[in-house]
Copies of this chain bind each other. A is one copy, B any other.
Amino acid sequence: MPDHIVKAYDKELESLGRKIAEMGGIAEKMLSDAMDALIDFDTRLAQATVDSDPRLDLLQRDIEEQAILTIARRQPMAVDLREIIATIRISGDLERIGDLAKNIAKRAIKLAGEMHIPRATIGLRSMHESAAMLLKEVLDAYAERDAEGARAVWIHDADLNALEDSVFRDLLTFMMEDPRNISFCTHLLYVSKNIERIGDHATNIAETVVYLVTGETLPMDRPKGRTTLSEAPTRVV
């Protein structure tokens, strides 16, 4: 490409990268605020979390459109094309993480009038810490194009899934102990599933980072029953 086109192209890539970073920051804050709102019965913070979701949706659409126009205009090949495809995929996962955090915030609003069972939320706090760490790790791995860091996220997600199993059993026990716990604990079951799915999306992003850096899919099975290497298509791009 002529030099001035290369520069315009670099600017487009930079702009995409900046938008991903902004999305990552919003998603991290939404998760953290939603969990604080849930634990502290803070409906105002919960509503603020819900209100910040449209910004994430807007950024995702922006990234998708800009990425596709860049592909059409510049016809990039190999690593550059992977760079752009990665922004489309990662923005999709971050948008879904925001949706899941929004779901937790909405549930915090619903639960504001219900009987609180503090010991029932202990496991959720651990799950939240684990998911927040995964999200931070994978955003760092993307920023630094660090395939090793991304592989670590993939493995740590298995810990989060194990935590969810344990939370599920605990919540079931509380419900069986006292029927008055059933409604509250049922809502927490959904929250734990939302956090687990945030971990799944962090893992998807990790997979995208490895693909971006190496051009390959991850050479190991996913920790949970997702697509394994033997089933996954080899990516041609």
Q: Name the residue of chain B whose CB is nearest to the CB of A57.
A: B227
Give residues of chain A (162-204) contacting chain B, Cβ–Cβ below 8 Å: 172, 175-176, 179, 182-183, 186, 189-190, 193
Q: Given the complex, which residues of B lie within 8 Å of A190, measured CB to CB?
A: 189, 193
In the bound complex, CA of A65 to CA of B217 (Å): 14
Chain A contacts with B in 9-64, Cβ cutoff 8 A:
50, 54, 57-58, 61-62, 64
Which B residues are CB-close (under 8 A) to A75? Answer: 72-73, 75
Residues of B with C-beta under 8 A to A172: 182-183, 186
- Count class of interface residues, chain A: 35 or more
Task: Report the copy number of this chain in the oligomer.
Answer: 2
Q: Is B72 within 8 A of A231, CB to CB?
A: no
Q: Which residues of B contact A220 (CB under 8 A)?
A: none
Say yes or no: is A71 at the interface (Cβ < 8 Å to chain B): yes
Q: Is A85 an interface residue (CB 8 A)?
A: yes
Tell me if A68 and B92 are in contact (CB < 8 A): no
Q: Chain A interface (Cβ within 8 Å of chain B)?
A: 50, 54, 57-58, 61-62, 64-65, 68-69, 71-73, 75-77, 81, 85, 92, 106, 172, 175-176, 179, 182-183, 186, 189-190, 193, 225, 227, 231-233, 235-237
